[in-house]
Amino acid sequence: MGRVRVVAPATSANLGAGFDVFGLALDRPADVLVVEEIEAGVEMVVEGFPVPETPEANVAGYVAKRLAENAGAGVRLELRKGVPPGSGLGSSAASAVASAAGVAVLLGLEVGMRELLGVCAEAEGVASGAPHADNAAACLYGGFVCVGEGMRVLRVEPPEWLEWGVVLPEVRVETREARRALPERVPLDVHVHSLGSVVMMVAGMMRGDRELVRLGMRDRFATPVRSRWIPRFEEVVRAVVEAGALGVTVSGSGPACIALCSGDVCSGEEVAEAMGEVYSEAGVECRCFWGKPGGGVEVEGRRLSNILKG
């Protein structure tokens, strides 16, 4: 009976107006999962952050149960959480994808990427009250992704120059609550604005056009609602612009804020530090992260997209 080691990175969903559609894989932090085959059932242990350890209550356990039980096999999961839960950095998606990738490769399941994305999106639904595939798609495929109907994923290799900085203030935001707070209906002008931003972002990523990416980060749907829970958000925006970044938005459902920048103007580290300073000056605890877009989940050092099809 074998075992595999999986590394599943943090991701940032929405990137402005691409609510439940856009995802960006980050190169850090990451969850590390060791999956081992056992006689029967699903067992798990978790370290790193306090999250539920019973397989039924944990997204990684949920996904493993779905896949392993279907195959008539058993697995043991050893999960080291590196992506902070409740941060807006795709913590539950990282765990779900790590589990899906590890179990699929270990047991040699005949599944494709889209099928695994479906299981992970369902697990996200159990965790947050509504299935969504943006974080999971970015984690599975890497790079910048757009999720369409039927779990179709458009993957775009982000521009070489793209760097990101994240600040994570010490406030708790539950995805479930952050989703409930959104308006059920969208006024026509907001819809038109969102369409414009989304097109700019996709074109900007594909062409490597900094100005289009900057315009693409603008959002009038979720960001105005969710930024209210983020302390000093206006000051964070000012600090990012002064640092020379393209823009900043709420990462997923928050409270992390992600800024995108062009490494030849300012580095992700500089932007993250500029945002961190806003909080240090205000006496609010925060953590900063920075890096480049990432390649997505890896099993035994190989990208899943190079192992599985479709």
Residues belonging to the active site: 124, 175
- What tokens does 244 get? 């020379």
Print the binding letters for residues 233-252 with ligand HSE: x by CB under 6 A, - otherwise.
Answer: -------------------x
According to CB under 6 A, which residues from 87 to 146 bind ligand HSE? 132, 134-135
* Whole-number Å distance between alpha carbons of 277 and 280: 5
Nearer residue to ligand HSE within complex by CB, 176 or 207? 176
Question: What SS3 class is residue 67?
Answer: helix
Please state at what angle helix 91-107 crosses helix 134-141, rounded to 10 degrees. 50
Nearest to 34 by CA among 61, 16, 7, 14: 7
Cβ 200 to ligand HSE shortest distance, Å? 19
Largest Cα span, the chain: 58
Question: What SS3 class is residue 237?
Answer: helix
Place of tokens 């995805």: 175
- What tokens does 22 get? 């856009």
Print the binding letters for residues 251-270 with ligand HSE: x by CB under 6 A, - otherwise.
Answer: -xx-----------------
Residue 197 sits in the site that holds ligand HSE (CB under 6 A): no
Cβ 230 to ligand HSE shortest distance, Å? 13
* Whole-number Å distance between alpha carbons of 15 and 23: 7
Cβ 211 to ligand HSE shortest distance, Å? 25
Question: What SS3 class is residue 171?
Answer: coil
Residue 13 sits in the site that holds ligand HSE (CB under 6 A): yes
Residue 225's contacts (CB-CB under 8 Å, 6 or more residues apart) are 181, 182, 183
Print the binding letters for residues 176-195 with ligand HSE: x by CB under 6 A, - otherwise.
Answer: --xx----------------
**Region label for 23, one of left (φ > 0), alpha (ψ between -120 and 50) or beta (otherwise):** beta
Among 7, 9, 20, 259, binds ligand HSE (CB under 6 A): 20
Nearer residue to ligand HSE within complex by CB, 20 or 163? 20
Residue 163 sits in the site that holds ligand HSE (CB under 6 A): no
Residue 31 sits in the site that holds ligand HSE (CB under 6 A): no
Among 11, 95, 175, 194, binds ligand HSE (CB under 6 A): 175
Nearer residue to ligand HSE within complex by CB, 132 or 232? 132
Question: What SS3 class is residue 252?
Answer: coil
**What are the distances in angstroms from CA 70 to CA 17, 28, 309?**
37, 32, 20
Cβ 153 to ligand HSE shortest distance, Å? 15
Residue 9 sits in the site that holds ligand HSE (CB under 6 A): no
Amino acid at 298: E
Nearer residue to ligand HSE within complex by CB, 195 or 225? 225
* Whole-number Å distance between alpha carbons of 117 and 26: 18
Q: By CB under 6 A, how many residues form the interface with ligand HSE?
A: 12
285 near 169, Cβ under 8 Å? yes
What sign does the dihedral 22-239-181-283 (CA atoms) show?
positive
Print the binding letters for residues 199-238 with ligand HSE: x by CB under 6 A, - otherwise.
Answer: ----------------------------------------
Nearer residue to ligand HSE within complex by CB, 44 or 59? 59
Cβ 116 to ligand HSE shortest distance, Å? 17
Which residues contact ligand HSE by CB under 6 A? Answer: 13-14, 19-20, 132, 134-135, 175, 178-179, 252-253
